[in-house]
Chains A and B, each alone.
Chain A
Amino acid sequence: MAEKLFGKAMKRVEDPRFITGTGTYTDDMTLPGMAEAAMVRSPYAHARIKKIDASKALAHPGVLAVITGQEMKEAGINSIPTGWLHPGIKTPPHYPITFDKARHVGDIVAAVVAENRQIAEDAAQMVEVEYEPLPAVSLGSEALKPGAPAVHDDIPDNICFTWSIGDKEAVDKAFASAHKTVKLKLRNNRLVPNAMEPRASLAQYHKASDEYTLWTTSQNPHIHRLLIAAFIMGIPEHKLRVIAPDVGGGFGSKIYQYPEEIIVLYAAKKLGRPVKWTARRSESFVTDSHGRDHETVAEMAVDQNGKITAVRVETIANMGAYLTTFAPAVPTYLYGCLLAGPYTTPHIYCHVTAPFTHTTPVDAYRGAGRPEATYLLERLADVMAHELDMDPVEFRRKNLIPPEAFPYQTPVALQYDSGNYEAALDKALEMVGYQKLRQEQAEWRKQGRYMGIGVATYIEACGLAPSALVGSLGAQAGQWESALVRVMPTGKVEVFTGTHSHGQGHETAFAQVVADELQIPVEDVSIVHGDTGRMPYGWGSYGSRSAPTGLSAIVLATRKIVDKAKRIAAHLLEAAPEDIVHEDGKFMVKGVPDKAKTFFEIALQAHLAHNYPADLEPGLEATHFYDPKNFVYPFGTHIAVVEVDPETGRVKLLRYLSVDDCGPVINPLIAEGQVHGGIAQGLGQALLEEAVYDAEGQILSGNFLEYAIPRADDLVQIEHDHTVTPCPHNPLGIKGIGEAGTIASTAAVANAVMDALRPFGIVHLDMPYTPQKVWQAIHSARKLGQAAD
């Protein structure tokens, strides 16, 4: 029997190309006759475009075209739609190139196409745009004030939508009769995703067949094809092939339909030449959809026993200047529905107002809504525990949903399928040595050293998603996943998945599972992804859906292969199909191991069909479309230990550990890697990262000189373990692990910093905990203390 690969820490099969520099990212591609584009972008957050004079640029040697918004509109190129609608939502137009007004710094005003990138960049500087600068607004709450400048002329109050969930009356009643309540004003800082590969797109138009090919940095090429074909450019869907080759990270930012993809497609047809555009990092900062950016008032109520009786949340969620593909879903269904967290809170109400502002659009960034919900709950939990004079761990333990309560219906729509939250908490506490650490903390404080211990217990809903459910909530797309498993005459197998790997290791983890299911060597399996010309269909990778949804489709397709193979084997072995067993890599007659056929023999016969069942189609391939029955619900406990230097305010991470439960782990190397990376991004939000806008809508942290993402010396080696609670409703019991780290770590680090600052009487600070902010808080607290003395 071949070694079972499920659970094995197999080295990744995709790595040889990456470690030798032979991967193929979009910008690595060059086509014969290729031209290159550079964008002319608005330096103003809000300005009327009065005149565009491209004559100098057009006269520059090597310039092929200067494309304006007016031209594209006249050519019939439509606005970019959003993929999620709420009742009453305003969906103002978002043209690939704006022609009336610029609505955020970086909004595209014109595109220059030239023989090469140098010339295009030179000429972009020669396009003369006459702007009339207008007042701008960058903060959500400011945009809602009467008299605030309108982002879109026909939406004078800037409100994109309002949304609520939960029983407000019951919640208000619970607060009225609460033993204790706490209230926090929170700002969830705006983040720039910063996948290391900047976005790039390369378009080619094939005149003879009137077909297009687009290579682009995408997490979901089929979504791009659908949006571009059906909504934006009116290309018949089968005449557009979208390929996402190697993609250097996404974290949500490469889900969306961006203007540049449309511009290169349009230019490729116009010029009859392939056209490529690659973002500079400073362009990424102002054009890749940002994440988070909430202003929230959050309240929690408890009874005498310290049980949470209600949570009430009022949030302003900044949408930015335009709605990108999934923006409306993020601060609503991925946020409000998560406000039960892992707790038994009976009454929850959440109300969200989503304004437009003159800033880069905001959409899903790793975790998307769930980190915001977790941060809010975990901050409330810590503050409440302190109010009750309880250890924060004991407060959580008291409120966790017990294992026997599953399936558990929350008051905010979700039904958690399975979980054992306390087991993960206990494991984490044991790993960190919680009691001892608290003693150590007390010792340190006597010496004037400020250690902080932060705990976050979390759940997430991922594995997007049951199509009918999300459809009823506003999704304009299905959320099932497809797989095609194709066996070749030699028994080699190609698996086509509608999910996309941009770092997640599908080529390895999925192959492990397919090899197990078909009982063949893993070397005989290749996983193919990222090409609408090759996949049946697919909705791509985000929301930690690739394993629970995409791999489930693959598994069910392989099982169709096995069923058919049994029928072929039965014919060859002159037995009844129900007597055939699939064991030790062979199809054999039950109890007669000598009467067996190998996978290769069956595959060959399926293709030759010389000696073959009369009622069976030749060939050996199967497609499966898998629509999950529910979300999956990973959970766990993260603990961060930090030290705050009271003199400088600098926070140093001392330890970080996580216990996560994503069900059975396919490949521990890959799963842990996902957790590590997620933790780093969450820590980045807590300590380092913030897209800071000034009142004029200029981003002040718009490059790596100002915007810090975690570096090697900002982190420590992460202590990780897991518990295993299988998902009851998918074939392998697996749950997503792509976002868990980010969802929990922001809250854990935030709680750790606030715990360290407890001796100063500091209850809450907004992230990121920059040295200046922490020092300022300590300094003010000390002054206050002196005044009191």
Chain B
Amino acid sequence: MAEKVRIKLTVNGVVHGSEVEPRLLLVHYLREHLGLTGTHVGCDTSQCGACTVHVDGQAVKSCTMFAVQADGASVTTIEGLGSPGHLHPVQEGFWEMHGLQCGFCTPGMIMAAADLLNKNPNPSEAEIRHALEGNLCRCTGYHNIIRAVQYAAGKMAQRSAADD
């Protein structure tokens, strides 16, 4: 067996030190070592985006990254984005607008949408569709996902206006 590597990273605000096989993908580290099963695996060719998490503030596919590459990084998963009672506006949008059905693509979709709104707080419909190209959903036809992201954009704009 290849020599294990010691890594230290912050996941949802908690520091974890682990010894891992180099080939351990970040998604399996999150799911199997940390029990954070909200991040899903939907394909094996880096296409579906179900595994999307934030690494150092940016959305990435955790199935296309080894855990050792995240050494020293700060990772946010769906579990760390918001919780019932303290939902992130994107989570709230998905709930309000029925942006999910089976829920399997949802964590990745939400993480990708949150990343979009971080980078572009007021996206057009076309920009939302383009930004979600890396996240496949088989249930919703994307209609309500678009509305969910628009809802979240509105909500975040209100919040930042209130903060000003």
Contacts and interface: CB of A to CB of B under 8 A. Distances in A.
B75 interface: no
A43 to B, nearest CB: 16
Contacts of A674: 101
A673 B98 contact: yes
Contact of A195 (B84, B138, B146): B138
B162 interface: no
A25 B133 CA distance: 24
A278 B37 CA distance: 14
B93 to A, nearest CB: 9
B120 to A, nearest CB: 15
A504 B101 contact: yes
Interface string B137-152: 1111111111000000
Nearest to B128: A712
Contacts of A550: none
Interface stretch (B3-11, B41-49, B64-72): B41-49
Contacts of A12: 95, 98
Contacts of B103: 14-15, 17-19, 23, 246, 248, 503
B36 A712 contact: no
Contacts of A11: 95-96, 98
Most A-side CB within 10 Å, residue of B79, B94, B100, B128: B100
Contact of A669 (B47, B50, B98, B146): B98
Interface stretch (B54-62, B105-113, B153-161): B105-113
Contact of B105 (A14, A24, A196, A715): A196
A249 B139 contact: yes
Interface in A27-84: 27-28, 30
> How would you classify the secondary structure of chain A's contact residues: helix, strand, loop or mixed?
loop
A712 B98 contact: no
A712 B146 contact: yes
A118 interface: yes
A713 interface: yes
A782 interface: no
Interface string B23-55: 100000001100011111111110110100000
Interface in A504-532: 504-505
Interface string A709-748: 1111101011000000000000000000000010000000
B141 A680 contact: yes
Contact of B104 (A249, A705, A713): A249
Contacts of A678: 141
B42 A281 contact: yes
A197 interface: yes
A19 B104 contact: no
A197 B140 contact: no
B106 A18 contact: yes
Contacts, number: 183
Contact of B40 (A25, A30, A118, A195): A25
Interface in B121-138: 125-126, 128-130, 132-133, 135-138
A673 B144 contact: yes
A718 B40 contact: no
B15 interface: no
A280 B101 CA distance: 22
B80 to A, nearest CB: 9
B105 A713 contact: no
B83 to A, nearest CB: 6
A502 interface: yes
B141 A703 contact: no
Given A246-B103, A673-B101, A717-B125, A15 B143 contact: no
Contacts of B135: 712
Most B-side CB within 10 Å, residue of A196, A281, A673, A704: A196
State which size class the interface on A falls in. 35 or more
B17 interface: no
Contacts of A280: 44
Nearest to A705: B45
Contacts of A502: 102
A38 to B, nearest CB: 13
Given A248-B104, A251-B138, A704-B136, A20 B84 contact: yes
A25 B40 CA distance: 9
A282 interface: yes
B21 interface: yes
A712 B126 CA distance: 9
A197 B45 contact: no
A147 interface: no
A15 B100 contact: yes
Contacts of B81: 20
Contacts of B145: 712
A711 B110 CA distance: 15
Given A712-B142, A718-B141, A249 B95 contact: no
Contact of A711 (B44, B79, B133): B133
Contact of A18 (B31, B100, B141): B100
A704 B139 contact: no
A146 interface: no
A23 B107 CA distance: 10
Nearest to B1: A61
A22 interface: yes
Contacts of A312: none
A17 B98 CA distance: 14
A22 B79 contact: yes
A118 B104 contact: no
A554 interface: no
A108 interface: no
Most B-side CB within 10 Å, residue of A248, A504, A679, A680: A248
B2 to A, nearest CB: 11
Given A118-B21, A703-B43, A676 B144 contact: yes
Nearest to A24: B37
B3 to A, nearest CB: 15
Contact of B138 (A196, A669, A713): A196
Contacts of B137: 196, 712
Interface of B: 21, 23, 31-32, 36-45, 47-48, 50, 77-79, 81-84, 87, 91, 94-96, 98, 100-107, 110, 125-126, 128-130, 132-133, 135-146
Given A19-B94, A674-B101, 8 more contacts: A19-B95, A27-B41, A197-B42, A681-B138, A703-B47, A711-B129, A711-B132, A712-B130
26 contacts: A11-B95, A16-B95, A17-B103, A18-B106, A19-B95, A20-B87, A21-B79, A25-B104, A118-B21, A198-B42, A246-B102, A248-B104, A248-B105, A249-B101, A281-B44, A669-B98, A677-B101, A680-B140, A680-B142, A703-B44, A704-B45, A705-B47, A709-B138, A711-B132, A712-B133, A713-B130
